[in-house]
Amino acid sequence: MSLMSLTAVELGKKIKAKEVSVEEAVQAALDAIAEKEDKVNSFVTVDAEKALERAGQIQKDIDNGVLSGPLAGVPVAIKDNMCTKGMLTTCSSKILGNFVPPYTAEAVRNLEKAGAVILGKTNMDEFAMGSTTETSFYGATKNPWNPEHVPGGSSGGSCAAVAAEECSYALGSDTGGSIRQPSSFCGVTGLKPTYGTVSRYGLIAYGSSLDQIGPIAKDVTDCAVILEAIASHDKKDSTSIGRDSYDFTSALTDDVAGMKIGIPRDYFGEGLGTEVRDAVLAAAGELKKKGAIVEEFDLSLVEYAIPAYYVIACAEASSNLARFDGVKYGYRTEEFEGLHHMYKKTRSEGFGTEVKRRIMLGSFVLSSGYYDAYYLKALRTKALIKQAFDRAFEKYDVILGPAAPTTAPRLGDSLSDPIKMYLGDIYTISVNLAGLPGISLPCGTDAKGLPIGLQLIGDCFEEKKILRAAYAFEQTREYAHSPLAADVML
Distance in angstroms (rounded) separating the CA atoms of residues 405 and 154: 16
Positive or negative torsion for Cα 278, 280, 282, 284: negative
340 touches another protein (CB under 8 A): yes
Which of positions 223-252 make contact with another protein (CB under 8 A)?
Answer: 235-239, 241
Total length of the chain: 490
Q: Are the C-beta atoms of residues 181 and 404 closer than 8 Å to each other?
A: yes
Q: Are the C-beta atoms of residues 447 and 275 closer than 8 Å to each other?
A: yes
- Would you call 154 a catalytic residue per the annotation? yes
Residues pairing with 174 in the sheet: 212
Pick the closer one to another protein by CB: 138 or 343.
343
Q: Are the C-beta atoms of residues 85 and 101 closer than 8 Å to each other?
A: yes
- Look at residues 454, 437, 22, 451 and name the one whose alpha carbon lies nearest to residue 227: 437
Distance in angstroms (rounded) separating the CA atoms of residues 280 and 268: 10
- Among 120, 176, 196, 458, indicate the residue that binds another protein (CB under 8 A): 196
208 touches another protein (CB under 8 A): yes
438 touches another protein (CB under 8 A): no
Task: Specify the stretch interacting with another protein by CB under 8 A; choose among 46-54, 143-151, 214-222, 349-357.
Answer: 349-357
Please tell me which residue in 79, 121, 192, 218 is annotated as part of the active site: 79
- Among 460, 470, 472, 485, indicate the residue that binds another protein (CB under 8 A): 460
Which of positions 25-84 make contact with another protein (CB under 8 A)?
Answer: 82-83
Task: Specify the stretch interacting with another protein by CB under 8 A; choose among 44-52, 287-295, 377-385, 439-447.
Answer: 377-385
b (16+ CB within 10 A) / e for 131-147: bbbbbbbbebbbbbbbb
392 touches another protein (CB under 8 A): no
- Would you call 414 a catalytic residue per the annotation? no
Q: Are the C-beta atoms of residues 40 and 139 closer than 8 Å to each other?
A: no
Number of residues that bind another protein (CB under 8 A): 96
319 touches another protein (CB under 8 A): yes
- Would you call 178 a catalytic residue per the annotation? yes
Which of positions 273-302 make contact with another protein (CB under 8 A)?
Answer: 301
CB 476 to another protein: min, Å: 33
User: Could you give the angle at the alpha carbon of 303 between the alpha carbons of 300 and 306, nearest 5°?
Assistant: 125
Positive or negative torsion for Cα 445, 473, 295, 390: negative
Pick the closer one to another protein by CB: 34 or 383.
383
Interaction pattern, residues 398-427, with another protein; x per rule: CB under 8 A: --------------------xx--x-----
Q: Which residues are catalytic?
A: 79, 154, 178
